[in-house]
Each structure stands twice: as C-alpha cells, then as structure tokens.
Structure 1
C-alpha cells in the first residue's frame, strides 16, 4: 500500500492540517467564550498596533534562529541524533516542495498552532486561574501540550516545549497573538528551507577495527 503521506502530497496536506488547527481553536473558543484573535482588529485606529505586533514578532525570531544555527552544527549525542532524524525522515518529505509552498505551510503552522496552543489553551488557563500563577500555568500548559504534539523523539519534544514557553511569554508580553504567530511562522519557514537545502553532514562511521589485530606481513 502506498504511503498516505509522501513528498508528492505533503504540501497541501500540511497546509490544510495546520490551517484546520486555527479553525479548531476558533470553534473551541466560541464554545467556552474565548476569542483566540482577541486584540487582532484591522482598522484605521488599530492598524499601527497590528504592524507593531508583527514587527516584534519578526525581532523575536532572532534568538530562535540563533538556536537553530547552533543546533545544526551538532553531530553527536541526542541533538546530533535529532539532526540525523530530521534529515533522514522529515527533509525528504519536502524535497520537491517549492519555496512558496514552504512559506504557506509555515504561515499556516504559525496561524493554526499559535491560535490553538496560545490563543485558546493558554488563555483558557490564565482566565480560570487567578493571579500570576494563572499566567505561568497557562504558559506551561500550552507549551507542554505543544511539546507532546511534536513528539517525533524525546529530544524534539523537549525543544518544542522550550519553544512553546518562549512563544507563550511573547504572547503575554505583547498582548497580541500576531506576535507569536509571526515568530512561529518565520522560524518554521527558515527551518524548513534550511533542512531541505542544507542537511547536516552524516555522522562519521564508527571504527570497528581491532587495534590489537596484527597486520600480516
């Protein structure tokens, strides 16, 4: 049986799945009276506020990109194994995906995942738990579920958890989901382009020779 997901259909499937998460967040928000897009309004009086939120999101991508650069240099240990896993299993799926398709996937991921994990789930906790405890429980709850949903390996899940904490703090600090959406989308786009265009060098093979074995004359 042919694989349901391949490099031939990954772009539309990924886009539709990620975009659907945003619609799910809006639906869940309607059910429990939470608007994941609260403070996102486009009009003469609010346009500049949205531009500023996007601008902060662009700047906030830089630390994550620095982390990506450093991560991709590692070839040993759990992080090295993660690089090999990404290059062998994830990157081949996108080998025929065009740049504009990667951009749409990243945009949909930023939109869908941020609305669901930050705009809805994190907000759900902060509104039902009073004080600063609610803020941090919301951040950790959203980040933990975010990490679990990215479990292709324990290392990847932990990194996703840390990214989720960072994005959750951005959401609180900015008060606008567009900031974390922008950061998430831009990071995903750069990461997708990088892993498909510049895979890390394969780890050197282990030396299995016996150093005590004498070479015949």
Structure 2
C-alpha cells in the first residue's frame, strides 16, 4: 500500500471514528443535562416511512443545487469534489452507506436527541429549535452558503422529528443518512466523470 493510498484509507477511517465519537459526546452532554439521548429513538413503521418519504424533498433540493450555476454553489461543488472526491471514489458503496448511516445516527442523536431538547427546556421550544439549528449550521460551516443550507436542512430535520405527533429520532436519522448516502454517490459519480472526461 503506497503512502497516498494509506492516507486516503486513514482519512475514511478517521471520518468514521469522528462520526461515531459524536455519540459519546451526546451521551456525556446528555448526562450533564439529565437527558437520555436515546429516549426518543424507537422503531416505528410510521417514523420509518416518514423518513423514507421525507428524504425525497432533500434529494430534489440536492439535484436543484447541482443544476444551479451560481458562483456560491459552484464553490461548494468544487470544494466537495476536491476534498471528498479523492477519498470517496475509492470506497465501495457499502462503505459510503456505513459512513452515511454513522453520520445520520450520531449527528441526529447529538443535535436533536440532546442539544435541541436541552435548549427547549432552557429557552423554550422556538428558541431551542432556532439555536439548535444555528449550531447545526455552524458545525457544517465550509462556506457561508453551505452554513445557511445546513441551518435550513437542520430545521427540516427538527420538524421531521415531530411529524405525526409523536417525537421520534428515527425519522430524521433515516432522512439524514439516506440524504448523505445519495450525496456521496452523486459526488463519486461526478468525481469519476471529471477524471474520465
């Protein structure tokens, strides 16, 4: 295994470890706040189907952003292709699914399983919702536009958690994981096309 291949493998492993470590962060924060991060995570056919259907608008948004010719959108695409393209295009689709699943699970448990209910308890539902998703946007701040988009997506994920009347983290976890998986596959396809073309 040459040095560059090792670095790419190492990056993927570190990304998986980082995402998984967010669950530990959620557990510690939950312990500090007296919140069980997994209290609102349970299997429900309704929550699962809401998650599957709720992924469709996210995929449509992703497709529209890919088509948009604005400079800010081009900057995001170029940045993602340059940073993630070389790493992800070497991975099997099952690796991409695992990374997307880890990201969906860990980030939703942290942000909507601990941070949002904690902030809702302290500041009320509206401010808790807003601040949680501002933090979600900042955590994904690779460009100013990407930060705004992440804030909006975070809001969508927060709303999906309460869809159907009973709060369930399964819905935003499914949406987040499937959206990330779709984005990874699309990024790999585009990266391979630019290399071959």
User: What TM-score, normalized to structure 1?
Assistant: 0.80
Report Cα offsets for 1:97-133 as digits up to 9, x if no partner. Answer: 111111110011011111111111101011223xxxx
Report Cα offsets for 1:157-183 as digits up to 9, x if no partner. Answer: 111111111111112335001111111
Alignment partners' CA distance in 1, 2:190 and 2:132:
31
Matching residue within 56, 59, 75 for 1:81: 75
| Aligned-residue offset at 1:8 | 2.0
Alignment correspondent of 2:153:
163
Alignment partners' CA distance in 1, 2:185 and 2:143:
21
**For the structure 1 residues 186 and 14, does the alpha-carbon distance in structure 2 shift closer, same or farther, using more than 3 Å as the test?**
same
Contact kept in structure 2, 1:106 and 1:186, CA below 8 Å: yes
Alignment partners' CA distance in 1, 2:46 and 2:119:
26
**For the structure 1 residues 6 and 172, does the alpha-carbon distance in structure 2 shift closer, same or farther, using more than 3 Å as the test?**
farther
Q: CA RMSD in A?
A: 2.1
| Aligned-residue offset at 1:152 | 1.3
Gaps of 5+ in 1: 42-46, 203-217
Alignment correspondent of 2:56:
62
Alignment partners' CA distance in 1, 2:8 and 2:91:
7
Alignment correspondent of 2:137:
147
Alignment partners' CA distance in 2, 1:200 and 1:84:
14
Gaps of 5+ in 2: none
Higher mean Cα deviation, 192-201 or 29-38?
192-201
Q: Does 1:51 align with 2:45?
A: yes
**For the structure 1 residues 6 and 160, does the alpha-carbon distance in structure 2 shift closer, same or farther, using more than 3 Å as the test?**
farther
- Give 3-state SS (helix, strand or coil) of 1:54's partner: helix
Alignment partners' CA distance in 2, 1:76 and 1:128:
40
Q: Does 1:104 align with 2:98?
A: yes
Q: Does 1:120 align with 2:114?
A: yes
Alignment correspondent of 1:9:
10
| Aligned-residue offset at 1:15 | 1.3
Flag the structure with larger Rg: 1
User: What TM-score, normalized to structure 2?
Assistant: 0.87
Alignment partners' CA distance in 1, 2:81 and 2:92:
17
Contact kept in structure 2, 1:36 and 1:177, CA below 8 Å: no
Q: Does 1:179 align with 2:171?
A: yes
Matching residue within 172, 190, 194 for 1:198: 190
- Give 3-state SS (helix, strand or coil) of 1:189's partner: helix
